[in-house]
Amino acid sequence: MSEMMLNIAGVNKRFGGLQALTDVRIQIAKGQIYGLIGPNGAGKTTFFNVITGLYQPDTGTFELDGKAYSPSAPHKVAQAGIARTFQNIRLFGEMTALENVMVGRHVRTRQGVFGAIFRHGAARREEAAIRARAQELLDFVGIGQFGNRTARYLSYGDQRRLEIARALATEPRLLALDEPAAGMNATEKLALRELLVKIKDAGITILLIEHDVKLMMGLCDRISVLEYGKLIAEGVPAEIQKNQAVIEAYLGGAH
């Protein structure tokens, strides 16, 4: 159990008349790439939103790296060590790429009003460190040369990378990616796959939602499958591929 990075159980979430999630659980070991798949409307993003504090669950226990955490507010979840990206890319459009990643450093830094106005030694040093780390992360994800470009004007693929760089800046233990490959062509997906492996090699656990089943099978160590808010299968990719319930859920829809 001490090898578990994320241990979540018994999550229920109801929206008015709709039971969006029923007794969903997930266990991710440290350093794994864990996949969450399922047909549209299965509740994957809802589950993400619950884990990361955007929605309040009706029930559930939440543990990150052995310690209980309360998904009561998104910023607390980030503080605890889970960083996420969004299905629809939520960048800070008017800021440059570098500034976007610098915002990611907010949660691990401290300078406030005093430091802002007086720029004393500690403040200047922290600011320089933020800038340097942000540039490092841009380089890491492969868009280091676009630091000064306004985020809005980056290409789609680069925007997705930027979002990942920004999430990495929060020094997460778990990186949660919501459909990072959406809208990408085959080449871009390959590059994304390489990036994710690189992140895993850097020691960060990854949870990802994706529709591209082939990508997931090749990338993930383990996969959970959701349908209508319920967990219908869980295991290594090979098992999932042969699972009858999963096949039925997708109506044979492997890409």
Partner 1 sequence: MALLTFDTAHKPRQSYASMAVLLAVMLVFPFVASQFGNSWVRIIDMALLYIMLALGLNIVVGFAGLLDLGYIAFFAVGAYLTGLLASPQFAALLESVVNYSPAMGDALVALFGESIRTEGIHLSVWAIVPLAALVAALFGALLGAPTLKLRGDYLAIVTLGFGEIIRIFMNNLNDPINFTNGPQGINLIDPIRIFGVSLAGEAGSKATVFIGGVGIPSVNAYYFLFLLLCIVTIFMTSRLQHSRLGRAWVAIREDEIAAKAMGINTRNVKLLAFSMGASFGGVAGAMFAAFQGFVSPESFSLTESIAVLAMVVLGGIGHIPGVVMGGVLLAALPEVLRHVVEPAQQALFGKVIIEAEVLRQLLYGLAMVLIMLNRPAGLWPSPIKEDRPVAATDKDEKEEEAVAS
Tell me the residue ranges of DSSP E strands in 88-197. Answer: 174-178
Q: Find the shortest distance in angstroms from Cβ 169 to partner 1.
A: 8
Name which of 27 and 104 has its Cβ closer to partner 1. 104
Name which of 25 and 106 has its Cβ closer to partner 1. 106
Tell me, residue by residue from 29 to 68, as one string, x for binding to partner 1 by CB under 8 A and - for no binding: -----------------------xxx--------------
CB 177 within 8 A of CB 207: yes
CA distance 74 to 56: 10
* Residue entry with tokens 């507010």: 73
Tell me, residue by residue from 123 to 162, as one string, x for binding to partner 1 by CB under 8 A and - for no binding: x--xx--x--------------x--xxx--xxx-------
Q: Is 173 in the site for partner 1 (CB under 8 A)?
A: no
Q: What are the Cα distances from residue 181, in Å, to 102, 163, 215, 233?
A: 24, 12, 9, 22
Quick one: which of 177, 186, 172 has its CA closest to 90?
Answer: 177
Sheet holding 59-64, edge to edge: 18-29, 4-15, 59-64, 67-68
CB 26 within 8 A of CB 205: no
Helix (H) or strand (E) holding 157, with range, is helix 156-169
Q: Find the shortest distance in angstroms from Cβ 163 to partner 1.
A: 9
Exposure string of 198-210, with b = 16+ CB inside 10 Å and e = fewer, is ebbeeebbbbbbb
Q: Find the shortest distance in angstroms from Cβ 123 to partner 1.
A: 8
Name which of 158 and 227 has its Cβ closer to partner 1. 158
Name which of 108 and 193 has its Cβ closer to partner 1. 108
CA distance 194 to 232: 29
Name which of 27 and 96 has its Cβ closer to partner 1. 96
Q: Which of residues 64-93 bind partner 1 (CB under 8 A)?
A: 73-75, 77-79, 83-84, 86, 90-93
How many residues bind partner 1 (CB under 8 A)? The answer is 50
Q: Which residues bind partner 1 (CB under 8 A)?
A: 52-54, 73-75, 77-79, 83-84, 86, 90-96, 99, 102-109, 111-113, 115-117, 119, 123, 126-127, 130, 145, 148-150, 153-155, 166-167, 169-170
